[in-house]
Structure 1
Amino acid sequence: MKILCVCVRTAEPLEYHRSFLKENCRPDGRELGEFRPTTLNISSISTADGSAMVKVGNTTVICGIKAELTVPPPDAPESGYIVPNVDLPPLCSSRIRPGAPGEAAQAASQFIADVIQSSNLINMEELCIEKATLCWVLYCDIMCLDLDGNLLDACIIALGAALRTARLPEVVINQTGVAEVDLQKTRPLRVSRNPVGSSFAVFDDSIIIVDPTAEEESLSTAALTIVTDEEEQLCAVHKPGGTSLSGEKLQHCIRRAVTRHTEVSRLLDKVIGSMKTHK
């Protein structure tokens, strides 16, 4: 029987999944609205100014933050800025080819940048040291170590957790106009918001599942990611093509996203709180 199931899954993967979905469950035993176990480790990279590693099922990403001094952008002379970059190395999945960053990595980087801006994750003016002269730029490098679906949710959690652990050195501009950095005196970043992503996949234009695996993503007819904050406000909605969703189904996804935000917030508070207790 086991050999037969493997053959069916290989020959007709969509029909194999449909046989589970019609029973309101999935091949890995989850219910349609059930996320995979999520774990979080913080301060994973000792050389970074802030870091975190997140695992959602088998999907694993690590985020490292490096702060550097630079000149504020001309259109925002009283602000610093954040530069996110998502890296999908070939080792994370057999579907990733060596070479320049592919479309998936570029799309993920742009999505994370959009979330940072739309959610007001950090008050960028707090990154400014002196107007039009000096500010912090935070390079947020997010690397996927193992890709098994739902990359965006894991990236958002890792970014938020890494920012919460980040600390910036004290900087003073002396009388000669030279910036003096005191590495012995640091301050934490003040993270204003806590965006959390919830990703969905649609099968046969009607069945919606959460936290899809890589196989489920490849078989679905549409994908959707909804980002909410602690006030149950929408920060971003990302739907890269595919079949349309009715207003009723979209509202269902939003309600599940709000619940997911509560679940992830508890995990973040528990892990960050544990870090502060041990200091």
Structure 2
Amino acid sequence: MATAAAASGLAGEMEVEAYRRLFPLAFLERHLGQSIRPDARRLSQVRETTVALGAVSTAHGSALVRLGDTTMIAAVKLEVMSPTAESPDEGSVVVEFHMPPICSPLVRPGRPADAAPVISKALEDVLMSSGMLNLKELCLISGKASWLAYLDIYCLNADGSLFDAALISAVAAFTHLETPLVSVGDDGRVFTVGGNEGKTKFEFVNREKRKLTLGDIPFSLTCALHKDIILADPTSEEESIIETYVTVVVDSSDRIVSIQKLGGSVASMEAIKGCISLAKERRHQLRDVLTNSVEAMEVDQTE
């Protein structure tokens, strides 16, 4: 009897999985009709999010972020550069988002993912327009030397809401960032100096490693819209079925930084307002996650 019951249960699971693959929209709508999603989340519920600072030992600032099964690693490397004539007392930031083939079966070796440059541009726009980074803080010697910050974000696993995970990883990497010590050589060249190297040999431009003073921090939430039903933080399965998405970015003062709608039909104002409301709730959650990650790192450093 037990064997028959097990076989019947297995057959039932196989039928459900076959229905899920053959009729994905109908499968999703059956769940939405009961205000639940295929992964058992509520419609407005986001996946568990974790942030681990200092994931890359060779970077000046880094973080590993998991949003459900979506996984990102972000690293910031600083290099000394000559500032531009237009902004002699400012540094620069370059953002690159990478999707290697390991992140998704949809990414083919030798062919860059179409989404990568779009996310790169969106990240750079948000980081600059939010006011989180003060480029004057990246100045070393006005008109002569400043920091060029290379932010590289690698998607290790793509399971939906890529921009949201990439943005929190970028924010976390800059939160972890420490600027290295810098000295000026006899030839006037500015160069970085290791932390324990030549304390008396060099005259330092900056006397100690320091963290950047971050302004209003941007946080984002992507919502999928299906017949004005809002699904917060969609998975890749949901994204493959639903055509309309809205990504809302709000800062730490609850000001709207950007609203971007991708694909699909025209969304109602009520749906847009619902997405904004959920994004503001999400902002509080992500702030707590980020704060907890900083506290965890400080505890590790004191042990």
Aligned to 2:82: 71
Greater per-residue strand proportion: 1
Aligned to 1:18: 29
CA distance in 2, matches of 1:114, 1:146: 24
The AA in structure 2 aligned to 1:275 is M
* Structure 1 residue matching 2:55: 3-state secondary structure: coil
Q: Does 1:43 align with 2:75?
A: no
* Unpaired segments ≥5 residues, structure 1: none
CA distance in 2, matches of 1:183, 1:244: 55
Q: Does 1:99 align with 2:110?
A: yes
Q: Percent identity among equivalent residues?
A: 33
Query: TM-score, normalized by length of structure 2?
Result: 0.88
Q: Does 1:82 align with 2:118?
A: no
Aligned to 1:139: 150
Query: Does the aligned pair in 1 maintain the 2:100–2:107 contact within 8 Å?
Result: yes
CA distance in 2, matches of 1:166, 1:95: 33
The AA in structure 2 aligned to 1:48 is A
Aligned to 1:122: 133
The AA in structure 2 aligned to 1:153 is D
The AA in structure 2 aligned to 1:210 is A
CA distance in 1, matches of 2:111, 2:213: 34
The C-alpha deviation readout for 1:149-206, integer Å capped at 9, x for no partner, is 1101100111111111111112244675222433224211222222111011112x32
Query: Does the aligned pair in 2 maintain the 1:169–1:186 contact within 8 Å?
Result: yes
| CA drift at 1:218 | 1.0
Count of matched residue pairs: 278
* Unpaired segments ≥5 residues, structure 2: 1-11, 196-207
CA distance in 2, matches of 1:215, 1:75: 47
Cα RMSD between the aligned structures? 1.4
1:239 aligned to which of 261, 268, 274: 261
Hey, which bits of structure 1, 4+ residues long, moved more than 3 A? 172-176
Aligned to 1:248: 270
Aligned to 2:4: none
Residues 68-77 or 44-53, more deviating: 68-77
| CA drift at 1:79 | 0.8
The AA in structure 2 aligned to 1:234 is I
Aligned to 2:217: 194
| CA drift at 1:56 | 0.6
CA distance in 2, matches of 1:73, 1:222: 41
The AA in structure 2 aligned to 1:169 is P
CA distance in 1, matches of 2:91, 2:64: 25
Larger Rg: 2
Residues 126-135 or 140-149, more deviating: 126-135
The AA in structure 2 aligned to 1:154 is A
Q: Does 1:225 align with 2:247?
A: yes
The AA in structure 2 aligned to 1:215 is E
